[in-house]
Each structure stands twice: as C-alpha cells, then as structure tokens.
Structure 1
Amino acid sequence: MLSAPATTTTPRTGARARWAALAVLMLPVLLVAVDNTVLSFALPLISEALAPSGPQQLWIIDVYPLVLAGLLVPMGALGDRLGRRRLLLIGGTGFTVISAAAAFAPTAAALIAARALMGFFGAMLMPATLSLIRNIFTDPTERRTAIAIWAAGFSGGAALGPIVGGFLLEHFSWGSVFLMAVPVMLPLIVLGPRLVPESRDPNPGPVDPVSVVLALATMTPLTYAIKSFASEGATAVSVGAAVIALLAGIVFVRRQLRRETPMLDVTLFTRPAFSGAVAANLLSVFSMVGFLYFVSQHLQLVSGLSPMKAGMVLVPGLIVTIVAGLLVVRIVRRITPGTAVVAGLLMNAVGFTIVAVTGTWGSDLALMLAFMVLGAGVGTAETISNDLILAAVPAEKAGAASAISETAYETGSVLGTAVLGSLLNAAYTAHLVLPAGLSAQQATDASHTLGGATAVAAQLPASTADALLASAQHAFDSGVLLTSLIGMGLMLVAACIARRTLRHAR
C-alpha cells in the first residue's frame, strides 16, 4: 500500500503554473549539461593562465563528476526529507556563487577546490529538478511531456556546449565559461520560491550518516576507477579504487535491506521494469556521450572546423532529440513503453552504423545524419525510461528515484567517454605511423591522441607535418570505425535487454 501523498506547501494546480514551474526547473538542467562539455574547450586557456601540472589539469576536469556522482543518492534522499525546492534553491545559490568565484581563481589549486564545491552543490540540483517534476505533474501524459523536455535539456545542453564555449572563448577570457552560471541561475533563485511548489516526504526516515558515507565510498571510487582505467589501464590505483567501490557497495546494499526506512530502496532493482529502465537510461546516455566524444574531435581536428562551427553541425541532431522526446509522449499511448524504449535503442544502433559505414570517408553530412538518428533514439529512450523510473515509486519517494536516474546518467556519461574513448585511443595508437624526424618527446605526444599529433605537427616542417597529420587522421578514423561497431553492438544488446525486462511495463 502506498503511503500518504507528498506534501505541498504551496500547491499550484493550474496548467499555466505547472509549465511556468517547468521553465524555471529547466535552467539548472541546461546549465549543468552545458558545463559538462564546455570546460574542455577552455582548458588550453586555463593551462596558459594558471600553468597547472599534468595531474592538476586532470583534477580540474575530474573532481566535479567525482564529487557529483558520490552525492547524488544522498542528496536525493535529503530532498525527500527537507524539501526538494529548498534543496534546489540551496544548490542553485551555492552553484552560482562558487561558479563566479571559479571564474577568478588565481591558482590551479583554487580552481580544483571550486570545481569540487560545484560538484557538491550540483548534486543538490539534478535530483531535485526531476523529483519536483514528478510531484508537479501528476497526470501521466503531462508528466511524460515534462520529462521529455527535461531530457532534451540534458542532450541539448551537451550539444550546445561547444557552441556556447566557442562563442565565449572567442570574445572573453576562460573565466566566462564559469560566469555564465550567474545570468542562468539568477532567475531560478528569484522566481523559484514563487513558481515552484515545495514538496517532501511526509513520513521521512531518520538521517543515516553511515549510508551517506557508504554511498560516497561506492560511487566516487567507482567513477575514479573507470576514468583511471580509461587513461592509464589496469593500474594498482584503478584496481584498488574498484575494489573499494565494490566492498562499499555490498555493505551499502546490506545496510539498506536491514533498515526499516532505508535511504535508498534497493529492492526496486528486483523489479524488471525498474532495473530495465535504469539500464536503458544509462546506455542511452552512454551512446550519446561516446558519440559526441569522437565526432567533436573529427569535426575540429580532421574537418578543421572551429568549436562553434562544429557545434552547429550538431544542432539538427539536437532539434531531432527534442522533437523525438515530445512525439514519443503521443506515440506511447498506442504502443507499450517497452516497445518505445527498444525502438529508441535500435535507432542508436543505426546511428553508430551510419558512422561505421560512412564516417571514415570524412563526410560531415554523414556525421550530421548519424547524430540526427542517434538523437531520435536518445530522445525516445531517455524520455520513457525516466518516466518508468519515476512511475515505479510513490510521489513522496521521488527524490531517491530521481537520484537513481541521475546516477545512471552520470555513470553512462563517464562510461561513454571511458569505454569508447579508451578504445578509440588504443586503435589510434595501434594504427599511427610516425614519419621520420620526430624527437622522442614529439613521438610520444603524437602517439597518444589526435590532438597531440596536431599540436606536434605545428612544430614541424611542412612536409613532415603533412605526413604526420595524414597518418594521424587515418589512424583516428580507423579508431572511429572500431568504436562505432562496438557502439552498434552494445545498443543491439541493450535493445534485447530492454525487450526482455520492459515487456510488461505500463
């Protein structure tokens, strides 16, 4: 039997009020999604201004997702207890202030600390937005439409990152990529208390600090292990982090099963529809992020487009993602949710197939078409899988369910870059033929990535540079072929899993 409905201190039942609330909730979604991709474009300028060491440069990128991934589940549960709007506003205020401070960081260490705090406050934002949608939109059809818009904000923000980053960095300093948080988040801080109704679990369990620590000890080392394995292989550090994550995860699950009111109801994963929806969510994001990883490099380093022009090539796919997410809300009235998710995952497979067949010819038009097909698949699968995750729990437990959805998103994002990115880099290194005349350091730099080869080519005589670039671009496209085939295979497997687990989902 479901418990009492979630309390709402400022109820707003009018349709106009609901959609106004959604407009405000989309602001942090877009900001966080853009922030995930825009930083990579600012790294060269940050390196020039702050002169970070190699490890510091990695931590500038990695500390944010490490902190975020570890805190999503605890913050989702905290929002159920303290109030989702309250947590959203605290997170929004903190994220804005720290982002502004990061823009003027005097040292690399200060920027790393700021990024860590951004991860802390960012973990408050994302579960709160999705759980508030769950409580604001009680009609299933309206809720699916709202979730479609929410999911489009993620994929759209990721695609907009290069465009926004390219524009800002062409006109302003590197700090502008952090300062953009201020104009985006101020409307949330000002209008949120008026437009977004508060909601919380009327019967929350007691705060469980041990579960919070165990969640951190599971997700943070797991995320680090994936990233470390992708960049350095199976080192003692990456294996040790994976072991810590595994042991902490086992203890976390056992503790949740013993508690009368667990922080996270892990028995949800015994429901095929719930676990299948989480898997579809994770793998859809995996396909999107992995695709963007190699396509963005191809457009800039092989086709020679600027970051902003490369981003424009991806805009049609962004539009298709949004349209597909909205259309599937109507389509799912006539077909089962499982069928819609399977169709979305199969479209992802088709997108990778197009790249495998035509991508190595260097056709930007083919890449645009592939991203449009993939966008249609992601928009379809993400919308319905998120709706199934939220529909599986009572409204008062939406924060914890939203945190699971967000954790799947972050894990899929990390895995997309780590798995497909590491395979691409390995294939690149295996196929690269270095011309004569390179120093040992130049050979090392050129062998790691296409970007490294491009930087080395700028230091060489024209004939040697042309030979290096031709070999590097060929090696890179060989890696794209391999990763596209693997991506296609994974999406086909994912479609089979979704077909089996979601066949009875309603």
Structure 2
Amino acid sequence: MVEAGRREWVALGVLTLPVLLISVDMTVLGFALPYLSEDLAPTGAQQLWIVDSYGFLLAGLLITMGTLGDRIGRRRLLLAGAAAFGIASIIAAFSTSAPMLIAARALLGIGGATLMPSTLSLIRTVFTDDRQRRIAIAAWAAAFSGGMALGPVLGGWLLEHFWWGSVFLINVPVMVLLLVLGPILLPEARDPNPGRFDPLSAVLSLGAVLPVVYGIKKIAESGPDLLGVGAILLGFAVGVRFVNRQRRLADPMLDLDLFRDRRFSVSVGTNTLGVFALSSVFFLAPQYLQLVLGMSPVTAALWMLPATAAGVVSSLGAAQLATRFAVPHLIGVGLLTAAAGFLALTQVGVESGIAALVVGFVLVGAGVPLSEALTTDLAISTAPPRRAGAASGISETGFELGGALGVAVLGSVATAVYRAELPGTASAAARDTLGGAVATARQLPPAQAGELLGSAQQAFVHGMQVSAVLGAVLLAYTAVQAMLLLRTSREGYRGRHEQRCPARPTP
C-alpha cells in the first residue's frame, strides 16, 4: 500500500465537488418550485415529474452505471457524466416549458447516476492505504450530507437575488472545473477482464428499481392504493427476474457473490436503514418549523444547520476514531446516538419544541453520518478493486431506496396519526396535510381558524412523536445487529472470476 500525497488529496477535493452538487440538487428544487410553477405553469402531474424524474433515474441507473464504469473506465464515465450534468443544468435553467424542464431533470438524473459511483470507486483506486481511504470516504460522506442541508439555505439565498434558473446554473462552473482537472489529477481504472455487457440486465435493473421507487413515493403522497402497491410488486417481480439472470450469466452485470461477504451485505443494509431513519427527519422537521412554529423557509433551514455541522464533524471524525476503536462498535455507537436523538424528538411540542428539535436533530445528524462513513468504507473496501464501481452502485442504490422508504413509511405513519386525530368535521384538504389545514384556516373566521389550526398542529406533532419512537426502535435494533454481525465476520470475497483464474492487478 502506498500512502497518498498532495496530488491525491487535491484529487479528493475534485471528487467531492460533484457529490456536493448532486446532494444540493436533491433538496434545492423545493424552494424554486413555486417560482418556476408561476413561470412555466405546469399541470399537477407535470409538477410531480419535475420533482421526481431526477430521483427516479438517479436511483434506477446507479447499479448499471457503476458496472459500466468498471468496464469502460471510471474516469471516462465520470467525465462523460460531468459533461451531461453541466449541459442538462443549462437546459434546466433556461427551460421555457414544463416538458422541457422534465427532460432536463431526467438528464440530470442520468448524469448524477454516472457521477456518484464513479467518485466513490475512484477514491478506492486513488487511496490504497486503509487509514487514508477511510478519511477520504469520510470526506465524501460529509460532502453528501452537507449538501442535503445546504440546498435549502443556498436555494433561499439565490431566489432572493436571482431567477429560479439560478439554482440549476450553479452546477455549471463546478462541472467545468471537473472536466478540466479530472484528466490531470484522476487516474483511469477499470476491470481488466469485464466480460460481455448484457443489455437485458441493464433494462431489468432499471425495471426493478424504478417501479419500487415510484410506488414508495406514491404511497407516501396519497396512502396505500392499487397503483402504488402494484408498482412495488412489479418492481419486486422484475427484481427476481434480474437476480435469476445474474445467476445464470458467465459475466453478470451484478456480482451476487459480493453479498456472500457479511461485511458487505451488513454494511449496505445498515447504511440503508440509517438513511431510512434520517430521511424521515428531513421530511417532518421542516414542516414542523414552518407550519407549527411559523418560521420562514430560510429561517427553518438555518435552524437545521447545527445538525449539518454535527454530521460533517462526525463523518470526518469517523476515520480518526476507527484507528482507536473497533469499527463495529463505532457503527453501533453512531446508530445508538441517532436513536437517542429520535427519543429527544418525542419531547417536541406545539408551543415550545425548538430546543428538543435541535437537540434531537443534532444527535441524529451526528450519529447516522458517523455510521454511514464507516459502513460505506467497509462496503467499498470489502469488494475487490475490479468490482469497485459495481459495489459503489449497490451501496448508493441502498442509500436512495432507504431515503425513499423512510419518507414513505415513517412519513406515512405520521400522516396516518394526523388524519386519525383531526376532527371529522375538518375539510378534506385539512385532513390531507398540515399544509392543507393552514391554507383552509386562512379562509375561515378567526375563531374557527384558531380551533382548526390548534387541532391540526397538535395532531401533526403527535404523529411526529409516534414516528420518532419507531425511528428510535429501528435504529437501536440496527445498531445491535450491526455490532453483532460485523464483529463476528471474518470471511472475504471470492467471486466466480477469482475461482476460475488468479486475480489480476487493476490499472
């Protein structure tokens, strides 16, 4: 193993920039939506596709793009994705119609799917020393979690000074910088013996992930219905077909032998469940700050920044802590810290809940990123170098699915409690969401408005508390499971290729 020098650390800075922008793009659009809706006048369905087309294609193509990078070269794929992401950002910024913006967002999702696994797998190539690689992956994770919280703050500032297209145009200088510095600083790396690419496997992987993500989002928005449940079942059916095909292929697109190593499978599962819990906080906390405590969007985003700072510090500190303590124990401590944060969120009230919210959010924001940094490193380091792209794609697909599931499940629990506790005399709009109740109250006489708002806010807070209890139980279980399974794991990867012939070095 060769220790990295100044050139490699500068390369890490280049690799974290697209990750930061991708995570910003996940949250910044919510602020721009009212402005672009006024300008482009999209229908309700078009507005949903403007929001969702990015995430759908990003989640659906991560595995395919990770495997493609192993075959054609991870740097080549990264640079191609950067060019696509920059061009799509310009198209999105200057879109003149809703269909044009939907197409641009879809292209952004495709570009993002090439960038994410490429950055992570190139970190595996650049940093061969275990300690330095762990630090590099921690920085990667810190950039991702920091970008998710930076999006609302940055979006609010841009929209106060510029037009809605500016939230997309900020991507362009960073992509240009990546295209200039990437060929200079980043090495090329690929699988030296990739075998044949199977187009049907790529189609099946997309057909497995897209319906599941769509179904989860549909259920989160409108509750369980035939379309949402049917989409999830369809995705599972296609997923079974995909797995069976991989087992028969001599050169599978997804090497299922990766999952035979408990360190890989447990790390991916732990990461998914951690993001599952974290995403519910990002979903419920902004609504509480704005619709219960009456804060403006930018003020609410600023109150969430302490949790972001805690996440960045814990992600970067994970590598140093791992040199002194056992990694399985650190993962467990991180998740138990986040579980304590969820318990703090159960103390949030209608009148004075800001202190409990900030404390809980900081604990969750510190604990989950600590666990994510370490489990991501375990998953990537466990896979052989030639399969780094595929392993990165799997890890990040778990991240995306965990985020979608967290909003759908814990968000739906909170919504169900809200609807159950709201008086039956409330209008359909008020019973649907707290935002609907606030809008309805504006049209009522003061006495009725106050009564409706009081009931709605109390019901929302109770639903948030129930969701927090479930999140705490889930994280505590995940912590214990990770500590037990990872502590007793010693086996290593041995895929079909390694059984047929000796491993060859990755260039």
TM-score (norm 1): 0.93
Structure 1 SS opposite 2:323 = coil
Contact 2:3–2:128 (8 Å) recurs in 1: no
Residue equivalent to 2:451: 467
Tell me the equivalent position of 1:401. 391
Q: SS state of the match for residue 194, structure 1?
A: helix
Aligned equivalents of 1:77, 1:177: Cα separation in 2: 31
Q: How does 1:1-400 map to 2 (within 5 A)?
A: 14-359=4-349, 362-400=352-390
Alpha-carbon distance in structure 2 between the residues aligned to 1:350 and 1:185: 39
Secondary structure of 2:487's partner?
A: coil
Cα deviation, 1:381-422, whole Å, max 9, x if unaligned, reads 001100110111111210000001110111111112111221
Show CA shifts across 1:442-482 (max 9, x none): x2222211122222333333333333222221111111111
Change (3 A) 1:183 1:504: same
Contact 2:314 2:370 in 1 (8 A): yes
Distance 1:13 1:271, change over 3 A: closer
Question: C-alpha displacement at 1:488, in angstroms?
Answer: 0.8
Task: Name which of 441, 449, 473 aligns with 1:489.
Answer: 473
Kept after mapping to 2: 8 A contact 1:282/1:409: yes
Q: Take 2:97 and 2:206, find their aligned partners in 1: how far apart are those partners?
A: 27
Deviation of residue 379 (structure 1)? 2.1
Contact 1:338–1:505 under 8 Å retained in 2? no
| Range with greater deviation from structure 2 (381-390 or 47-56) | 47-56
The structure 2 residue matched to 1:421, chosen from 395, 411, 414, is 411
Select between 123-132 and 103-112 the one with higher mean Cα deviation.
Answer: 103-112
Q: Distance in 2 between matches of 1:135 and 1:119?
A: 25
**CA offsets 1:277-311 (integer angstroms, 9 cap, x no match):** 00111111112211111111111222222222212
Shift of 1:360: 5.2
Matched residue of 1:305: which SS?
coil
Q: Which has the higher mean CA deviation after the structures are superposed, 450-459 or 192-201?
A: 450-459
Question: Shift in Å at residue 13 of structure 1?
Answer: 7.1
2:488 corresponds to: 504
Distance in 1 separating the partners of 2:311 and 2:139: 10
Determine the C-alpha separation between the residues in 1 that align with 2:387 and 2:70.
6
Q: Distance in 1 between matches of 2:450 and 2:424?
A: 11
For structure 2, the residue ranges without an aligned partner over 5 or more in a row are 491-507
- Residue 56 of structure 1 deviates from its aligned partner by 1.6
Contact 1:352 1:487 in 2 (8 A): yes
> How far off is 1:361 after superposition?
5.2
Q: Which amino acid aligns with 2:444?
A: L
1:164, CA displacement in angstroms? 0.8
Report the residue type matching 1:278 in the other structure: V
In structure 2, give the amino acid aligned to 1:452: G
Q: Which stretch of the first structure deviates more once superposed, 344-353 or 44-53?
A: 44-53
Partner AA of 1:409 in structure 2? F
Residues 337 and 505 in structure 1, CA contact (< 8 A), matched pair in contact too? no
Aligned-residue offset at 1:77: 0.5
SS in 2 for 1:334: coil
Q: Distance in 2 between matches of 1:300 and 1:183?
A: 33
> In the superposition, relative to structure 1, how do residues 233 and 366 fare at CA in structure 2: closer, same or farther (>3 Å)?
closer
Residue aligning to 1:8:
none
CA distance in 2, matches of 1:223, 1:274: 23
Name 1:476's counterpart in structure 2: 460
Structure 2 CA distance for aligned equivalents of residues 270 and 31 of structure 1: 34
Q: Which moved more, 1:354-363 or 1:253-262?
A: 354-363
* 1:391 counterpart letter in structure 2: S
1:454 pairs with 2:444: no
Deviations 1:6-38 (A, max 9, x none): xxxxxx975111110111111111111111111
Report the residue type matching 1:68 in the other structure: L
Q: Please give the per-residue CA displacement for 1:163-218, whole angstroms capped at 9, x wherever unaligned.
A: 11111122222222211211332211221111222211111121110110110111
Deviates more, 1:56-65 or 1:406-415: 56-65
Q: CA 1:234 to 1:310, structure 2 compared with 1: closer, same or farther past 3 Å?
A: closer
Query: 1:62 is paired with a residue of what secondary structure?
Result: helix
- One-letter amino acid of the structure 2 residue matched with residue 461 of structure 1: P
For 1:9, the equivalent position in structure 2 comes to none
Shift of 1:344: 1.2
CA contact (8 A) 1:360 1:481 kept: no
Counterpart CA distance in 1 for 2:240 and 2:249 is: 15
CA pair 321-232 structure 1, distance change in 2 beyond 3 A: same
Distance 1:105 1:264 in 2: 37
Gaps of 5+ in 1: 6-11
Q: Secondary structure at the match of 1:200?
A: coil
Q: Which moved more, 1:450-459 or 1:56-65?
A: 450-459
Q: Distance in 1 between matches of 2:435 and 2:154?
A: 21
2:264–2:383: 8 Å Cα contact kept in structure 1? no
